[in-house]
Chains A and B, each alone.
Chain A
Amino acid sequence: MVQVNAIGLFALVARLVLAWVFIRAGLPKVQDPVAFAASIDNYRIVEGSLSLWVALVLPWLEVVIGIGLLTPWLRQASGWAITALLGLFIGLHTSAWARGLDIDCGCFGESNETIGYHWLILRNSLLLLVAIFILLRDSRNKKTPESSI
């Protein structure tokens, strides 16, 4: 029988929140990849056709791994992909902050989100901690399959 303790419940909520954030972030960008490509250009790291490729694929990847995190047979790879992406986003925001760029982060599509870099980095760092917690939890559950949450 599955025992749901406080940590298990927290893991379930954390998984739902993380999945929701990625699906919520991906869907508006799937609907308007052109605006997202402009946001990518603003980071001045990739441009031209490469930013169009990123704007085409990344939103779908976010949606797929968001759903994947809730799908038992995809959750492990989705967890790793989410962790890697959050690390990448933190790096990108830190880099843009260090270069003094005043840009819309493009995190949830064209939202005119004006929160500062420190909040973006803090938010993504918290999400990264949650993702790492879920990865560790899944890894432990793999060794002791009696718990499935």
Chain B
Amino acid sequence: MHIFRQFIVIALLSAIGSAYSLVTGLALLPWAEPEIGPNEIRLEDAKALDVIWVDARSAEDFSVEHAPEAIFFDQADPGSSMAGILELWLESPRVIIVYCADAGCGTSKKIAEELRANLPDAEIYSLKGGWDAWSR
């Protein structure tokens, strides 16, 4: 059989197997909206932990209200904000959770990713739903 046809047969067999996994419920539907994304945490789970909260909203929003003992992440000066968080974590290693305004903002995920790069041993999440989840 020509190699091109062999690849088609392999692809078809793999697709049939994958369909079997989906039909039998072995695999999650990849196109379904996930309840929670990777590296995200729900507020109810977060509240049960000893957490370093990192607020990635604007300074005005932070000054109005924020999570208990949250650290403001100044996006105009990310280096010193990052250094402050690293220092706090090194003093007392805890779970770090970053939140921004709502589920649609991507800042918390971006900052969490940067923190992970600087603190590979730390457990770092972004809060599902952002500050909206707090204020509900």
Binding site for B on A (CB under 8 A): 30-34, 37-38, 41, 44, 47-53, 55-57, 60-61, 63-65, 68, 73-74, 76-78, 80-81, 100-102
Chain A residue numbers with a CB within 8 Å of B18 are 56-57, 60
Q: In the assembled complex, which residues on chain A have CB atoms less than 8 Å from the CB atom of B30?
A: 49-50, 52-53, 56
Would you give the shortest CB distance from B37 to chain A, in whole angstroms? 6
- On chain B, which size bracket covers the interface? 20 to 34
Please measure, in the bound complex, the distance between the C-alpha atom of A100 and the C-alpha atom of B9, giving whole angstroms: 39
Contact residues of A: prevailing secondary structure: helix
Taking Cβ atoms with an 8 Å cutoff, the residues of B that contact A are 1, 3, 6-7, 9-10, 13-15, 17-18, 21-22, 26-31, 34, 37-39, 116, 120-121
Task: Let me know if A48 and B37 touch, CB within 8 A.
Answer: yes
Given contacts A33-B27, A49-B30, A53-B30, contact A80 B3 (CB under 8 A): yes
Q: Do residues A37 and B26 form an inter-chain contact, with CB atoms below 8 A? A: no
B10 touches A77 (CB 8 A): yes
Q: Is the CB of B10 within 8 A of A102?
A: no
Contact residues in A for B27 (Cβ distance below 8 Å): 33-34, 52, 55-56
Q: List 8 A-B contacts (CB under 8 A).
A: A41-B39, A47-B37, A49-B31, A60-B17, A60-B18, A73-B1, A76-B6, A78-B10
- In the complex, how many angstroms separate the beta carbon of A83 from the nearest chain B beta carbon? 13
Neighbouring B residues of A76 by C-beta, 8 Å:
3, 6
